Amino acid sequence: MDNDKGRKAEATVRDRRLSVVVFALFFSWLLAFPFEGQVLYAITEYRGVSTQTYVLGAMAAHFVGLIACGFFVRTMRAAKKLILFSIVFCAAATGVFFLPPSFLWSAALFLAAFLVGACVAAWGFYFKGNTPKETRIKTMADGLIFSNLLMILLNISAIHISPQIGLGASILVLVAAFLFALRLPNAGAHETPQSPPAPTLTRKTAVSASKLNPLAFLCFFIMFITINSGMMYQVVNPAFAHMKLLTSLYWAVPYIAALFIMRNLPRKTNRAYILYVAISMIGFSFIAFLVLGRTWTDYLVVNTLLLGACGVYDLFWWSILGEMLEHYKNPARVIGFGLAANVIGVLEGGLIGNAINAAGGQEQYHTLLALGVVCVTLIMLPPLHNRLTKLLKNHIYLTSHPETSAQDHINRPTDLNIVERLTEREHEVMHLLVNGRTNKEIAEELVIVERTVKYHVSNIYAKTGVSSRTELTNLVLRNREKPPE
């Protein structure tokens, strides 16, 4: 039995690492090529064609792919097939840019952007199925860190060696992603390959408004705060374009550093305060952009503040989305909707920045707009926190009492007689049982088969010494009523 548990634990760790590698590889291609990527800018500049139409079209197609994925991908097996096909197509689409500019460029880029959007959303099945809930923030941080490191290498190859080398390196990254994706499992750690597809929403199984409200509010928050990211691409970055070596090497470094720091903060750290600091950093970055010059030291100040704040907030909303996966049947919809809000925000910020530039607007207008976004974001954060806390009570960004660690919660008498005897999955099943869910409803919510639920229920009864749901409910209630020691 212990050997079986050990093998399962090793398989879970292996699958988690594999999913991070696959994500980092194809996400680095996304960041370096279709999504405001420097490889795309380098090849269009080399060919003497305008980049703006390609960038806007690719972002729009990427948005559609993120939204659409959850409506036709409903199992991990389907997600794997989509990921493999998308990677192959994206590699072929990248190769098209070795040819002279033509309509094939637009067709290849837009279709690839659509598929990679669907690919990112489909990866949500692996984010949920192969990553334990308590490690998802680290999984997401690892994926974002490694993808940005790879993006830096791709950017350097395209800018400082040649655009063709950058294209070739991008294709090699996708080839590596395909080879690793072949090894992705067809089912999650708690799902058998024969599991039926997740049911579509009906009146009986529809997600309650209490769950939709926090997700919708979070998406609106993501869309609003990333307006400043869009302005960064179209306003801040072009202002320092004359320092190609510094910008290509340093641009994502503060972002990576912020992710690394947030990933490794002690559990007791109150991250809610850090969110307010990060919002202030965004405001100060645009103020610095207005009052400072365009030297390398000025760039370091502006970019460090802005990209550091982006790292804090990206990991915040990515980790919230990861936690929300437990409350929705189709992880592709949750990830797709969340990232679609990010794309819309970047697109809006870019369009606003371009409009101000076209009208001959001065830099103070960009700064005033950015500060307006910061002010609205500060207003939105408390109600967002309240809505999320009602759904996600123990998320590390939402913990009300930072001095209380996860181990403290386990040691409380309210859970002492139960939690110590149950696995994480059994604990999840137990809470659904005492809340009156049937075996079928539990299977649908946890995306497992009903016979697996029955197996967990049997283990729960044996470990807690009860023989019925009523006795289990009474046991839980008695423990909750015990005063803390």
Of residues 172 and 387, more confidently modeled: 172
- Residue 4: pLDDT band (50, 70, 90) is low
Q: How many helices (H) and strands (E) does the chain have?
A: 23, 0
Q: What is the CATH number of domain 212-402?
A: 1.20.1250.20
- Residue 360: pLDDT band (50, 70, 90) is low
Query: Could you check whether 212-402 and 412-481 share the same CATH topology?
Result: no
DSSP H stretches of helix in 33-51: 38-47
State the fold for domain 17-187: Growth Hormone; Chain: A; (1.20.1250)
What is the pTM assigned to this prediction?
A: 0.75
**Per-residue pLDDT reduced to its tens digit, 327-350:** 888 899 999 999 999 999 988 888
What residue spans define the domains of the chain? 17-187, 212-402, 412-481
Is pLDDT above 80 for 399?
Answer: no
Can you give the pLDDT at residue 478? 64
**Least confident segment among 53-57, 68-72, 404-408, 452-456:** 404-408
Torsion of CA 118, 124, 130, 136, to 10 degrees: 140
Can you give the pLDDT at residue 185? 87
- Residue 268: pLDDT band (50, 70, 90) is confident
Tokens of 361: 């607007």
Residue 194 CA to residue 452 CA, distance in Å, equals 12
Is pLDDT above 90 for 255?
Answer: yes
- How large is the average pLDDT for residues 248-260? 93
Identify the residue whose tokens are 């705060």: 225
DSSP labels for 254-271? HHHHHHHHHHTS-TTS-H
- Residue 257: pLDDT band (50, 70, 90) is very high
Residue 418 CA to residue 420 CA, distance in Å, equals 6
| CATH class for the region spanning 412-481 | mainly alpha
Tokens of 357: 């530039």
C-beta separation of 398 from 319 below 8 A:
no
DSSP H stretches of helix in 392-421: 406-411, 413-419
**Per-residue pLDDT reduced to its tens digit, 189-238:** 444 443 344 443 333 444 444 555 788 888 899 998 888 888 888 788 88
Can you give the pLDDT at residue 419? 55
Residue 398 CA to residue 262 CA, distance in Å, equals 14
C-beta separation of 374 from 283 below 8 A:
yes
